[in-house]
Amino acid sequence: MEANGLGSQGFPELKNDTFLRAAWGEDTDYTPVWCMRQAGRYLPEFRETRAAQDFFSTCRSPEACCELTLQPLRRFPLDAAIIFSDILVVPQALGMEVTMVPGKGPSFPEPLREERDLERLRDPATVTSELSYVFQAITLTRQQLAGRVPLIGFAGAPWTLMTYMIEGGGSSTMAQAKRWLYQKPQASHQLLRILTDALVPYLVGQVAAGAQALQLFESHAGHLGPQLFSKFALPYIRDVAKRVKARLQEAGLAPVPMIIFAKDGHFALEELAHAGYEVVGLDWTVAPKKARRRSDGWC
């Protein structure tokens, strides 16, 4: 600790590192707790704050994102904060229009339909400048947390982002996106590479801005069986982790623990345990003890 109470990045010194120590596989005095959708509609103050502007305008306001991130910590003794944002800011940064329709969810007025539609996407190298508001929100939140708990940054994994960009929103079957995998495999890989190229600097930028851990959400893993997952999702999940860690080292930034959460991806648990992440998130369908046995030898 420096004499002024600030860490090496100029942020307040961390007082509760239990979550980070657990993420690195170290022993802790208790099991640290944080929640998915930690900042959410279950909080009346969240609903009040969100009522002031539309969803993505909120995401683009560092002050609003900071406030929403901090709200649950004022009520509960949580061990980590996760920045308020959305995985679909990445397709937006690539030039796609995305709106949040009340009662329906995200909507893409012009989804990707044909291979030539990939030409509409911006250069993934421009994503970090387009998403500077996320970095500003992370820095502001780290300052406002005053070292109380660590701050988690996140992004959606390539396959999950691809499904939204092709389906035009949520889907119970992902029929359009899966049709691409079968009928347009080369274009599918091209899109997944574009998304990976966008995600790597975005996640590195979150760490540079102050994120102390990163989570990659493969929310639609369950729509792929083992073969399709191994071909169209897992390679990019691995690539994100490998490249983020290399870029952090190149930039002289300290490593941070990375979490992979593949919802309904129980069939790939062994592969995910060796995909280059420090933590594998489990959904409610997987028994933790069985998951530990299946990933025996991990770490």
Please, what sign has the CA dihedral across residues 262, 213, 45, 101?
A: negative
At position 12, the amino acid (one-letter code) is P
Please tell me which residue in 17, 60, 164, 238 is annotated as part of the active site. 164
Is pTM beyond 0.75? Reply is: yes
pLDDT in tens, 85-143: 999 999 999 999 999 998 899 999 999 999 999 999 999 999 999 999 999 999 999 99
Please tell me which residue in 50, 60, 238, 243 is annotated as part of the active site. 50
Look at residue 26 and tell me whether its pLDDT is greater than 50: yes
Q: Is 60 a catalytic residue?
A: no
> How far is Cα of residue 216 from the mean position of the Cα atoms in its chain?
4
Out of 4-13, 85-94, 128-137, 226-235, pick the least confident: 4-13
Q: Is 37 a catalytic residue?
A: yes
Q: Tokens 């893409």 appear where?
A: 108
Q: Is 41 a catalytic residue?
A: yes
Q: Is 164 a catalytic residue?
A: yes
Please tell me which residue in 27, 41, 74, 116 is annotated as part of the active site. 41
Please tell me which residue in 86, 238, 243, 277 is annotated as part of the active site. 86
For strand 213-218 and strand 258-262, is the pairing parallel, antiparallel, or unpaired? parallel
Q: Is 30 a catalytic residue?
A: no
Supply the mean pLDDT for the chain. 95
Query: What's the average model confidence in pLDDT over 186-201?
Result: 98
